Amino acid sequence: MNLAVVAMARTRATASSGGGVLGLVRWRAQEEGEKRTDIRALIFIASQRRMGYGPVFRTNMVGQDLIVSLDAEVNSFVFQQEERLFQCWYPDSFMRIIGADNIITTLGSSHKYIRNLILRLFGPENLRRAMLQDVHRTAQASLLSWLDRPSIELKDAVSSMIFSVTAKKLISYDSLASDGKMWKQYDAFIRGLLAFPIGIPGTAFYKCMQGRKNVMKMLKELIDERKEASGRRGSIDFIDVLLEELNEEKPLISENVALDLIFLLLFASFETTASAITAVVRFLTDNPEALQELAEEHDNIQKRRVDLNSEIIWEEYKSMKFTSHVIHEALRLANIAPVMFRKATEDVHIKGFFIPKGSKIMICPSMVHLNPMIYKDPNIFNPWRWKDTAEPTGGASKDFMAFGGGLRLCVGADFAKLQTAIFLHCLVTKYRWKAIKGGTMVLGPGLRFPEGFHIQLFPKP
């Protein structure tokens, strides 16, 4: 597999008196004659830093003096002590892009309240009752529509698919009927997300910020229309939930918070999950044994049905054990969210390390996921390893933090895993595919496919 890894793209690390350097590294497996799946660039960085400075060190990055943690126990401690010894913090450039009034920066009771609002949509009960069948039908329809096309750029196609189902549930927005207007603005936002931050018209970053501005304008219009409407019919969506709160005598959120929340939920729900699904399919493409066992699991689920064409049910979804192994292994390798940031609110001593009050900390779960002391042959896609390793309860453990951890464990983790599993179910039971071009992965602030990953889909005989 032709895998490239970039550690912290668009940042330039410089040595500081107390620590090391995280450099910019790009790895192409074939340059070293390596033909198997390989992610050794990040392992190389981690091992070099550990040898030179240990698993916790200082550096300068994103214009900040940072303490970088590659240590599983330190990472877990920071997450578990959030809002006691640490609080959420992100660089100004990041906050400028996603907006100041978002769930990432809210603290205490406000964060808990907003999180509970989101769980009304993305929590397990609503996934079972209201989301499962919609996700299933959307995946079936999307895959069928790809059959006549000579090439599908998988991440873009999956992003559009997920956006359509999520937008309908969140804001009752029909992307197809609206000619994809909102999706196109999000697409502009995403394509400039990693660009150099120069807001000059014509630059990718300018288009990114314009895309965000245009989406926010469309969301504001939707909320204003909903305020003026009386006796709206249809199922309750997330706008209804937010308007109910805004109409309280003393609302706990403002309209700006509501708008930023919808924007971020729509973005996070399709962008990260589309990356995860694309990574899973990419890994399976190069691992026929894993693909065969996955297909057998889903074929057996179908064989147990009285009606082969009936929709999937919750019990079937929960029975997908090997599918869960495949998803966890792909997330471990892909590291869609490779770093997270926190700030110390008190002086902290942990494992012999001293973290002064006010220090900014960059937590690197990706280094833990690729640590050979924790995962044997960490650069190899091996979903069978999870048969002997307990999958993280609640979505995270000290050795697996693909969805973050602590109070800010990704609120959409269950939804992301459900979408991935159901897509795989629809894919492997009815279709086969071949890679056309692309497939190189780049790990920077997030997982990217700079050349895309193009496949051609065929019906199973």
Q: Is 442 helix (H, G, I), strand (E, B) or coil?
A: strand
Q: Does 147 map to a domain?
A: yes
Residues 6+ away with beta carbon under 8 Å from 422:
132, 135, 136, 139, 312, 317
Secondary structure in 3-state letters for 80-137: HCECCCEEECCCHHHHHHHCCCCCCCCCHHHHHHHHHHHHHHHCHHHHHHHHHHHHHH
Structural domain including 289 reads 29-172+234-450
Percentage of the chain with pLDDT > 90? 39
Range ranked top by mean pLDDT from 8-17, 19-28, 85-94, 356-365: 356-365
pLDDT in tens, 365-389: 888 998 899 999 999 999 999 998 7
Contact call for residues 24 and 9 (beta carbons, < 8 A): yes
Q: Does 216 map to a domain?
A: no
Identify the pLDDT of residue 43.
43
Cα separation, 185 vs 172, whole angstroms: 18
Top-confidence residue, 344 or 190: 344
Q: Does 11 map to a domain?
A: no
pLDDT at 45 over 80: no
Q: Is 344 helix (H, G, I), strand (E, B) or coil?
A: strand
Q: Does 3 map to a domain?
A: no
pLDDT at 177 over 70: no
Considering its fold, how many domains does the chain have in total? 1
Q: Write the DSSP assignment of 155-224 as a string of letters.
A: HHHHHHHHHHHHHHHHH---TTTTTTHHHHHHHHHHHTTTS-----TTSHHHHHHHHHHHHHHHHHHHHH
Q: Is 456 helix (H, G, I), strand (E, B) or coil?
A: strand
Q: Does 248 map to a domain?
A: yes
The first and second tokens of residue 371, run together, are: 């640590």
Q: Does 107 map to a domain?
A: yes
Q: Does 124 map to a domain?
A: yes
Residue positions in the annotated binding site?
410
Residue positions in the annotated binding site for heme?
410
Contact call for residues 275 and 368 (beta carbons, < 8 A): no
Q: Does 333 map to a domain?
A: yes
Residues shown for the chain: 461
Q: How far is CA 366 from CA 59, 80, 379, 430, in A?
A: 18, 18, 12, 34
In the predicted model, what is the mean pLDDT of residues 287-304? 96
Q: Which CATH number goes with the domain that contains 161?
A: 1.10.630.10
pLDDT at 221 over 60: yes
pLDDT in tens, 153-168: 999 999 989 988 888 8
